[in-house]
């Protein structure tokens, strides 16, 4: 009986997750979302060389990480870490704002997952991305 109940809960959760992906307007725009996107776009030009060198990679959870610190000269590491931190802060805020703008803050984790897949899918050849098990591969 308990196993059956857990199966029902699992099926319901999967259904809700599917509805969130289908129902959420990921292209919704508010002043906060526009500001976050602009901030991320400006930072992208600074991060691009680190994606290309493999120093920075895209994680499976919609963030970025300093994947190979040895690929960054020591005097630049603090600046790269600051860029990574600012990017992750904006990404988290973007997921939260999109969920709020859709009037469903509880959808934030699903929106994060959707964006994580999009970031990895759109990564340039040669960039490093994390697979679903957490391993790194060069795209």
- Whether the pLDDT of residue 12 is over 90: the answer is no
Question: pLDDT of 53-91, one tens digit each?
Answer: 999 999 999 999 999 999 999 999 999 999 999 999 999
Reply yes or no on whether the pLDDT at 3 is more than 70.
Answer: no
pLDDT above 70 covers what percent of the chain? 84
Tell me the C-alpha distance between 32 and 24, whole Å: 17
Domain count, the chain: 1
pLDDT at residue 23, as a whole number: 79
- Which domain range does residue 91 map to? 2-138
Percent of the chain's residues with pLDDT above 90? 83
Q: What is this structure's pTM?
A: 0.82
Asked if residues 54 and 71 have their Cβ atoms less than 8 Å apart, the reply is yes
Q: For residue range 101-121, list pLDDT tens digits in order.
A: 999 999 999 999 999 999 999
**What is d(CA 93, CA 111) in angstroms, rounded to the nearest whole number?**
11
Instruction: Give the closest residue to 67 by CA, choosing from 5, 134, 128.
Output: 128
């Amino acid at each position: 009986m308990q196993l059956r109940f857990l199966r029902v809960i699992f099926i319901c959760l999967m259904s809700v997750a599917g509805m969130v992906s289908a129902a959420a307007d990921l292209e919704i725009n508010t002043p906060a979302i526009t500001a976050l996107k602009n901030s991320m776009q400006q930072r992208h030009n600074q991060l691009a060389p680190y994606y290309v060198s493999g120093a920075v990679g895209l994680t499976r959870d919609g963030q970025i990480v300093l994947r190979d610190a040895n690929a960054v000269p020591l005097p630049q590491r603090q600046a790269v870490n600051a860029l990574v931190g600012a990017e992750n802060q904006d990404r988290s805020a973007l997921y939260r704002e999109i969920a709020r703008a859709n009037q469903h803050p509880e959808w934030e984790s699903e929106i994060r997952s959707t964006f994580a897949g999009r970031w990895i899918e759109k990564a340039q050849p040669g960039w490093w991305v994390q697979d679903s098990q957490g391993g790194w591969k060069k795209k």
